[in-house]
């Protein structure tokens, strides 16, 4: 079992993007929408920047 550690949070009008570190495996992106649903693409990224970028792209596609 891996421990998720939050490493970055960003906010956009009604949306949150959170990046967590999954042990030494990499980073995951989590998005919280205005309805407070928590979403993840399930991908593991090599960098926190790549995970944050994925979250931003998801939000841009939804707006």
Total-model pTM: 0.88
Q: With DSSP H G I counted as helix, E B as strand and the rest as coil, what are the percentages for the chain, rounded to 5?
A: 25, 45, 35
Domain residue extents for the chain: 4-62
Residue 1 confidence (pLDDT) above 80: no
Tens-digit pLDDT profile for residues 36-51: 999 999 999 999 999 9
* Cβ atoms 19, 50 nearer than 8 A: no
């Amino acid at each position: 079992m891996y421990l998720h550690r939050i490493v970055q949070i960003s906010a956009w009008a009604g949306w949150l993007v959170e990046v967590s570190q999954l042990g030494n495996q990499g980073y995951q992106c989590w998005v919280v929408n205005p309805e407070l649903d928590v979403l993840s693409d399930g991908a593991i990224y090599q960098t926190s920047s790549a995970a944050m970028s994925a979250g931003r792209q998801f939000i841009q596609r939804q707006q």
